[in-house]
Every structure is written in structure tokens, then in C-alpha cells.
Structure 1
């Protein structure tokens, strides 16, 4: 019996240690739990391995020595994990503050890289966004040639910064091993033996610099996000976050006449962009901003209704001014408080309400009814197809897009929220506890445009060594089929109706091209002393074009922008027009 217990304890301890060591660094809690469970099992196995001793000082000393040995074994395993198993991941880790977007990374690697000639970052057409200049003392300084043509904040949240004071962010961080040349250990060894300067790899992005600048200009001075995706490949053609920051402000020049003054300049700019009232320019809103999606989420509810027609009954619907949900809860109301059903019945010609019409005119009471018909399980299941998670299933970082740190989108926050019919109804028309990123809503639109196949979005097109060898080339990769082709086709017709005769007419801004889309007005509390119940609204719009053979999907989110059918649709139309002009 002692032998069986001994081997079972030892085997269980070994399995727990192996499991814990295999966990990524973001799952420290799993490793700590595995280690703390494994150590007592190791102690039991060791006790049973030793010969029993009679009671007395010798046995007490033996137990104490065994406990100390097991403690040292735990420390050794922790060091093994940190210094060997996950050494590279820990050294390269970037922590992003979810509230401010402020990154924290390993500055020592950056300081050691002051003489490394980091590789350039190019747009899809080969236009240099970031380059390296060798200055006095053989030091390397990051330069931003596009600043001569465009506002450098246009690209700040994508390329990020590379700072000896504050580490790295954006592509500078996620592609650091390539840009610095660290990835190629053989070439690094040759450089060290031959005393050659280390030259990093070239990173070419999927971004089109002209479209990126045009999308940034469309936001004007407003805070918000714009994402443009090639629906056929998943390539991210533009990703705008405003306000942004100028990466030149954090680039240290080792050849500066006064290094202390150079450091003071950088410190002052860092304080300025992190100051209260700066608008959180370090926060990459398309991937790290989470908001209620407003009526753009009716797209997901509509897909769920078409996927489950027996429960959803898509064309057996009405649009009353109010709809009760459950006793004690306020009724659901429409944004157009009276007479919306009359508008739906008469535009563009007399007809009964159906899914297309209530979608085109964004009827809250209709989509509340759809959600209550479907129930929480079917709505959750459809949202999960679009990678909108329940909180207990959500990864720490969304793994569908890994080129930049990305938060997962959530269908609710608090456990059991959708058990309430009122909460279910609110979620159906895009409120409730929904928390989604602009990137995720762009993916929803792109999936419908791509006949129901969700493609993995990517920002890095390829990485090329200095000798011209391609080491990474990203190609289109599907995530999953979200819906059948016929459901996607019907949703494209619904989106076209939303622009052709519905509330999204302002998006129809591309001559000769049929645009489809859905507006969203996401309410959120903005209390004041005089009005503690005051609500404000973010303006959303998702769009695809051309509807028959889509090329582009766009998501626009303007913070405190009001009605999505106005400002959101206008901006989406401008961005689509720029996309057709810039990308042949």
C-alpha cells in the first residue's frame, strides 16, 4: 500500500508540475495553484520513500529537512519556469493597462538595442513608415519618414513606440524579435564573431498609408476608432485610433548633445500623453476599447433569428412603440418614439414588417422580441460563433488577432445576466452588458460579406531578412464558417436595405457602388450634477461594399458621437470612398 500511495503521489505531482510549466505566462494563477498542490504530494511521496524512524529528535530533524528540501524544490521549479521555460516570453512581455492603454515592457532589452539597426516597418505598398538612421557613435535612432507627408499620430497606435525609457508598444513590441534581429540566432552569432552591426528584419504591414490617413482625417478631432478589412483575406487595411500619439516624442537619440535634456524631453512628452484630460492616446481603441455596440449588434441577433427560424420566426414580427418584457421592468421603446411601424409599413412601398424592414429602420422593440423568442442559449451560441464570449469562456487576450494586444468581446459581464427577460431584450438590440471592440464588429460585417466565412484578421503581411529571405508570410486563414451562404446573402440584402431606404442613407457615398450597412447608437451613463440620470451616446456604423461582391468591411465607432445613422454613417461612407480610391 505504501508503494502504491508513493507512486500515485509522485505521478500526480509530476503531472501537475508539467501542466503548470506548460501554461503561458498570462496564466500565472494556474501555475501557482499547480505548484502548491504538487509540493504536498512530493512531501508525501518523499516521506513514504524514507524508512520510518522511531519518535524523537532524529525523526523531527528528518521531517524538518524534508520540508526544507521540498521548499527548495518549489523555488527551483519556479526559477526553472522563469529562467528557462518561459524566459523569452517573460523578457518580451508587454503589459497593457486596460484603462489608459499605457504599456509596460522590459526596458533593459531596449537599452541593449541602442546600437541595433532595427528593421524598417513598411505599408502594404512598400512605403516606409518607420526606418532606422545610424548617428554619431554608431548608435541607431528610429525615424518616421511619413511624418513629412502625414500627421505622425495617424500611425502611432499601430507601429507603437520604441523607447529606451519606457520600452516598446504596438508592432515595435509584438514584432520586436524580428525587428531587432534576435529571432535569427545564427546570424546574431555571426554578427558577434565578425563584429558586424546587427540589422533587423523588415516588417511589411497590410495597412495602406493613404487609406489610413484618409480614415484618420474622416474622424477630424473626434475620439474614436475606424477599422477597414479586406473581406476576402482578413487583411487589415486601416486601423485608426484617435486621439493618438507621436512616436517621435518617445524616440531617444543617443547622439543628442545633451542626453539629460533628451531624457527630459521624452519624460515631458510621456507625462503629457498620460495626463488626465489627454484622452488616453496610448489606448489602441480598435483592439483595446470595449463599448456597447448599440444597434449594430442587431446584425448578430438577425443572424441568430435566421439560423433558428422556428424559434425566431424572422418575418412574423411587428414594431410597436413599446414592448413589455417582464413584470416590474420598464418597457423597451424605439429611438423614434412614435409611429415607427407606420414608417416601416409605408417605405419604400406599402408592405407588412419583416426582418429586412425592422433591420433597415432599426426597430428596438422588434429585436427585443426576437431575442426573447430565441432565449439566452441560442443568442449566446450565435454570438460565440462571432467570437463574442461569455465571460467565463473569454481568453485573457483575443487569440483571433495576435498582431496587437486585443481584448476579447463579451456578450455580458455578470453571471446570470441573460436569465432576465428584460436583460435578454436589451441585449437583443445592442445594449445590456455587451462589451465589444470595434475590430470585432468589423469582423461581424466582414463575415457576412464573405458568404458567412469568418477570416482571421492580420496586420503583418510578411517579414523579410536583410538578405531578402522571407521568414514570415501571412496568407488568408479562415477561423470558422459562422453561417450558411444563403443566410449571409439575406443579411447582405438586409444591410443594403439599411442604406438604400433605411436609417443609414448617409453611408451611400460611393458613386456607382452599392453600400450596405447598419447604424448603432450606444447609450451610456454620463451623469452631471444637474442631471444624474443623463445618458450620452456613442455613434456606430458597420458597412460593406459592394453589396453583391463585397471587397471592404468597415467599422466606425465615434465616442460621444450621438446617432450612428448620422455621423457614423457619414464617416463610414467617406472611408469606403477612400478605400475604393486607394486600393485597386
Structure 2
């Protein structure tokens, strides 16, 4: 008999229930291991694999960069007068990480209303920057006082918006030298993609034209800024580091501001260009193009509508001093050179001139339809006899005339720093004509070219380089805008002209002014001048007027070329008076 009889009030052990409690305990244990194993694995993944990335995200939320834009270098004329500088203004920025969904729409709408900018444009700027960017994104520049006041008044609605003072470009002379100086503007997407490897960033202001673009590296400077720690509300807690912005380097140009102003007045409202340069070393003293623009307008936002309006006014952003046109009778300088240098004509040769001539079955006439009797090179230049130079062109032939045209620098860029805006012009030949017109070169083409017509295209700057050759005794100069102390010989190369060629050119160009087609420049108010007029036919439109000159005739210091596009009238009547005004200003100084 058993001493103790176990008593069960609950489940009783049977064959079916033996081991069930152990299995339940094992299942609970397995579930617990699985859960904690998953948590552990996730923690290990986050810590070991994603740890660095997550830490960077946390840092980005905690650390922000307040950029400091560098002040752009100044631009001065040859005498130290300011052509472009910087002034302080207010700009609006947004933190890309800061906008909250519940308040961003209100912020964006308010900003758009104050700044007069479409909401879509503001949104696009943030989207481009990326919402993980720790850098501020500029929304608008050069705010007016009313906008600054409004931003302050609505500060509670604009918690993620910052207003900072920064430098913007300022051109104190407005339109004066606009085409040379150019302007600055914010980079577009394509420009940013090209320059990102050079350290440029979204919102960077760069030179978009002229000297501003050509000397971007010198003028730009280096960004600076502050790295700060912020709390959850975006308030700055402490300064972590600071880099001082480095200003760009100043650029000194060869331009003479007072001479530039005189050239601007001389050209007036005519569509065209004036170029003045030192014939001894190619330094550009003045360069004017019309119509013009005020580069200060680009300190503010340019809407597509404003840009369209600016472009519709006869293309004011085209520098006509660097665009090509038929040079007309000014080209007779080169025909004279080719005639004497070829040996086909003596420097003292004379030829009969005619009212009209039949060459290759085509009638070519002199400009007076009567001729000038028998002339030599000097007299032919003075009276600009077409029939004289027809005979010279035909006599030397196509290849010799084209060769000397190219030696003078036509058909190629001059080497001036504004190369991206400069036309090479056109010196056509048989290959060009066959390719473009499917026709062979003819004697008529050579005859037309001999007086600067036909297919020939030349820029006002190239023509100034041409006039510098007889002025300096036979050297082709390289025009340049950057002032330096280099010897003039580094800016020019000899064309190896015969002394008699130079002498004939200088005598002929002097007689143009003393008794020929340029007598408007034969005044006692300026030293003796040498030069040449040109009137270029433009089919279906009024003719172009040219005049190129240098002075003093015996020891030249300055070359001036004036060009009036579709002005009508002759070069001696329309363009020569422009040259006179520039020379009067130069020699008064």
C-alpha cells in the first residue's frame, strides 16, 4: 500500500499529455530566439553595414554649411579707372533640408508673392539642390527695400528662409564698353555640368560674355563659408569651422575709358562698330558696338519675357566689332600690297582707268562711271579707282591675291581674348566656291575681290589690324585687351614687305585725306592723318560705310576704324566724321 497517494485537481498525466509542456517551452524559446536574432541582425546591419551612411545622414541634419560667395575681382581701364566692380546687396536663401510638408506650401507661396517669382521656379531650385544638401540654396538676388521689409514682416511664415548680404556685379558706366566687359549671371544646368569638376556649384555666378567670361579664372575668387551645428528647429548652436572667402584678382585692360566714351558718342545710335588700337603693339584702346545694353540688368533675375525683349532689339548682345562684313575699298590696301610684292607691277607703275571695263564677259564699272585718267598706286588709292584695282587683281591672279589677304590676317581669328565671340570672316577660294556653290572660281571673282566685294567678309577689328601694317612699317599685330608691360615686339610679326611697298601705302593713304575721298579729316585740330574709305554694297539693303585711319601720319600712335551698318552714303561722308571725333579726343589728351 502506498504511503502517499498523489492527488490531481487539474490535468492528469496520461500517455497523451506526457511531454506537452516541454514542447511549448521549446516553441516559446525558439520564437524568442528568432525575434531577438532578427533584432540583433538588424542592429548589426545598421551598425556595421549602414552605420557610416546613417551617421552621415544624421550629420547632415545636424550640420549645415552657410556659404560665403567670393567678391569678384575688379576691372580697370589702362589708367586705373573702374569699369566693373562689386556692390553689396541682399539675397534670399533656403535650407533644402528644412522645409516641412505641412508648412512648405505656405512658405513657397509667400516667397513667390514677395519675390515675384513663380512657385514652380522656387521648387525647381530646391529639387536641383537635393533635399539632403547641407548647403543653402539661393532663390533670388539683389532684393529691393520693399522685398527686404516684406520678408522681415512675414518672418513667422518663413522660418526656413534666410536673407544674407552678398556682393553683386556693378558697372558704373552702364552701357559704356558693355560688349567688351560683358556681364555675369547664374550658371544654367549645362554650364554647371561642364564646370562642376572645376569646383563650381549650383547658384554660382560666372562671366557670361566679354572680359567677364574671358578672364573668369582670374576674376572668380574662391568660396568660403561657415560650418555650423543646428538643433531640431534649425537654430544655430555653435560654429564648427570657417573658411574665409578669397576675392578674385583684379584685371587691368588696355582700354582708355575717355576714348571709349568718345567712340560711343561718335557712333551714336547708328548700328555698327568703332575700333581703336595702338598700331605698334595691338593694344585695344576702344571698342564700341551698337545697339548696346546695360550689363547691370543681369544683377537681378532675368525672366524669359525680358530676355526675349532684349534680343528682339536688333541683337544688342552681338559685338559687331567682331562680326564680319564686306570691307569694300578699304581692301585696296591689300590689293596694292599684292600688286607690288608679286613683282607683276612696279611700285611706280601707272595704268589707264575707265568708266567701265569688260572682264570675262562681265561689265565692271568705276564708282564715278567715268574713270580718272592714268593713275599710279598712290593716286588710285587717293581716288579709290575701281578700274585701276580691277587690273591689279586680274594681273596678280587669284592665288597671289588670296595669299596676301590671308597674310594680313583675314579669314582667321585675330587672337584677341574674346575668341568665343569673334568671327574668322571669310576669304573664299576655288575649293570653297566648289563646295558651297558647286561652281568654279572665275576671273570675275578675283576682280570683285580686288575692291573688297564678292564673297570676302572682314571684321572691323581685322580691318584695324590691316591698317596697322602700313602704320607701323609692315608688322601684323595681335590685338589684345589685357594690359601688361611686354615689349611691343612680342605682339607683332613682320610681313617682310619691301620698303617701297610700305612707302607707297603710306603715301597713298595720306593723299586720301589730304586731297582725296577722306578730306573731312584734313583739319588743323588734329595731326596729319592717313586713311581709306569704303562703301560696301549690300544687296537689297542700304550700303555699309567704312573708314579706317591712323595718326600722326609720319609717326602713328593710333588706328581708328569706323563701320556703319546699312547706313547708306559713302564711307568718307558717314564713317570718316566718326573717326574724326575719336582722333580729336585722343590728341586733346
Q: TM-score range by the shorter chain?
A: 0.5 to 0.7
SS in 2 for 1:542: strand
Q: Decide whether the 8 Å contact of 2:283 with 2:479 is kept in 1.
A: yes
Structure (1 or 2) with the larger CA radius of gyration: 2
**Cα deviation, residue 481, structure 1:** 1.1
Partner of 2:366: 334
Q: 1:274 aligns with which of 311, 334, 338?
A: 311
- Distance (Å, rounded) in 1 between the aligned partners of 2:224 and 2:528: 56
**Cα deviation, residue 113, structure 1:** 9.9
Q: Determine whether 1:565 maps to 2:572.
A: yes
SS in 2 for 1:154: coil
Deviations 1:296-340 (A, max 9, x none): 01111011112123357762312100011102x2x11111122x3
- Distance (Å, rounded) in 2 between the aligned partners of 1:578 and 1:399: 26
Q: 2:331 aligns with which of 280, 297, 300?
A: 297
Q: Determine whether 1:123 maps to 2:139.
A: no
**Cα deviation, residue 399, structure 1:** 5.2
Partner of 2:519: 505
**Cα deviation, residue 513, structure 1:** 1.0
Q: 1:487 aligns with which of 495, 501, 504?
A: 501
Partner of 1:66: none
TM-score (norm 2): 0.66
Partner of 1:431: 453
What pairs up with 1:50-61 in 2 under 5 angstroms?
none
**Cα deviation, residue 506, structure 1:** 1.3
How many pairs are equivalent? 410
Deviations 1:435-469 (A, max 9, x none): 1000000000011101001121111115xxxxxxx
Partner of 1:516: 530
Q: Determine whether 1:376 maps to 2:398.
A: yes
Q: Decide whether the 8 Å contact of 2:347 with 2:500 is kept in 1.
A: no
Q: 1:441 aligns with which of 458, 463, 470?
A: 463
SS in 2 for 1:227: strand
1:114–1:569 distance in 2 versus 1, CA, 3 Å: farther
- Distance (Å, rounded) in 2 between the aligned partners of 1:457 and 1:500: 28
Q: Determine whether 1:545 maps to 2:580.
A: no
**Cα deviation, residue 353, structure 1:** 1.3
What pairs up with 1:144-543 in 2 under 5 angstroms?
144-146=171-173, 152-164=174-186, 168-181=208-221, 195-252=243-300, 263=301, 267-275=304-312, 278-287=313-322, 289-311=323-345, 315-327=349-361, 329=362, 331-338=363-370, 340-342=371-373, 352-389=374-411, 394=412, 398=413, 400-404=415-419, 405-412=421-428, 414-415=432-433, 419-462=441-484, 476=488, 477-482=490-495, 483-509=497-523, 511-526=525-540, 535-543=541-549
- Distance (Å, rounded) in 2 between the aligned partners of 1:313 and 1:204: 43
1:524–1:191 distance in 2 versus 1, CA, 3 Å: farther
**Cα deviation, residue 486, structure 1:** 3.7
**Cα deviation, residue 128, structure 1:** 0.5
- Distance (Å, rounded) in 2 between the aligned partners of 1:191 and 1:177: 24
Q: Decide whether the 8 Å contact of 2:347 with 2:501 is kept in 1.
A: no
- Distance (Å, rounded) in 1 between the aligned partners of 2:397 and 2:517: 28
SS in 1 for 2:359: coil
1:199–1:381 distance in 2 versus 1, CA, 3 Å: same
Q: Determine whether 1:555 maps to 2:555.
A: no
**Cα deviation, residue 557, structure 1:** 0.7
Partner of 1:141: 168
Q: Decide whether the 8 Å contact of 1:250 with 1:270 is kept in 2.
A: no
- Distance (Å, rounded) in 2 between the aligned partners of 1:191 and 1:225: 47
1:113–1:383 distance in 2 versus 1, CA, 3 Å: farther
SS in 2 for 1:538: strand
SS in 2 for 1:539: strand
- Distance (Å, rounded) in 2 between the aligned partners of 1:356 and 1:240: 31
Q: Decide whether the 8 Å contact of 2:332 with 2:381 is kept in 1.
A: yes
Q: Decide whether the 8 Å contact of 1:452 with 1:481 is kept in 2.
A: yes
- Distance (Å, rounded) in 2 between the aligned partners of 1:178 and 1:281: 27
**Cα deviation, residue 181, structure 1:** 2.2
**Cα deviation, residue 380, structure 1:** 1.0
SS in 2 for 1:310: coil
1:283–1:242 distance in 2 versus 1, CA, 3 Å: same
TM-score (norm 1): 0.66
Q: Decide whether the 8 Å contact of 2:469 with 2:475 is kept in 1.
A: yes
**Cα deviation, residue 218, structure 1:** 0.6
- Distance (Å, rounded) in 1 between the aligned partners of 2:258 and 2:226: 37
SS in 2 for 1:292: coil
- Distance (Å, rounded) in 2 between the aligned partners of 1:191 and 1:365: 74
1:449–1:494 distance in 2 versus 1, CA, 3 Å: same
- Distance (Å, rounded) in 2 between the aligned partners of 1:314 and 1:561: 36
Q: Decide whether the 8 Å contact of 1:540 with 1:555 is kept in 2.
A: yes
Q: Decide whether the 8 Å contact of 2:562 with 2:578 is kept in 1.
A: yes
SS in 2 for 1:142: strand
- Distance (Å, rounded) in 2 between the aligned partners of 1:495 and 1:552: 15
Q: Determine whether 1:576 maps to 2:569.
A: no
Name the structure with the higher helix share. 1
Partner of 1:105: none
- Distance (Å, rounded) in 2 between the aligned partners of 1:545 and 1:423: 34
1:399–1:492 distance in 2 versus 1, CA, 3 Å: closer
**Cα deviation, residue 512, structure 1:** 5.0
SS in 2 for 1:198: coil
- Any gaps of 5 or more consecutive residues in structure 2? 1-65, 91-163, 189-205, 228-240
Range moving further from structure 2, 155-164 or 481-490: 481-490
